[in-house]
């Protein structure tokens, strides 16, 4: 189960809950919650209160430089720009994940990099 970074940050900073209390309430492991809180406190690019519109994916990128727990992500595979994809999905009426995946796939093929298959692309987008 992937940690809900926004929920953990809000519970810790706004509600003054400890890592143990957050773990009990959310069902996440105590070590996972505390490890994330330590990493968040060390992060120079992000602090509480969080910027408007930031996603869990965006938090993970800023805190860890990648998305931890994403099924042992293969670093040889080009990571899609999901924040851009989310913007396009929200602002363009007929935008689909299939269209965005095809664009991502074509870009990877042109650059000679590996890419996620459609199902993996969608799964990671939804996270």
Peptide bond before 8: cis, by omega within 30 degrees of 0?
no
- Name the pTM for this structure: 0.52
Is the pLDDT reported for residue 67 higher than 80?
A: no
Mean pLDDT value across residues 29-37: 89
Q: How many CB atoms neighbour CB 81 within 10 A?
A: 13
pLDDT digits (tens, 9 = 90+) for 93-112: 899 999 999 999 999 888 88
Beta bridge partners of 114: 77
């Amino acid at each position: 189960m992937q940690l809900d970074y926004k929920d953990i940050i809000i519970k810790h900073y706004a509600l003054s809950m400890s890592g143990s209390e957050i773990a009990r309430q959310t069902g996440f492991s105590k070590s996972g919650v505390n490890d994330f809180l330590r990493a968040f406190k060390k992060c120079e690019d992000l602090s509480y209160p969080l910027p408007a519109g930031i996603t869990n994916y965006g938090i993970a990128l800023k805190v860890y430089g990648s998305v931890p727990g994403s099924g042992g992500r293969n670093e040889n595979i080009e990571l899609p720009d999901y924040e851009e994809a989310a913007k396009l999905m929200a602002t363009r009426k007929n935008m689909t994940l299939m269209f965005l995946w095809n664009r991502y796939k074509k870009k990877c093929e042109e650059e000679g990099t590996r890419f996620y298959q459609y199902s993996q692309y969608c799964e990671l987008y939804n996270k």
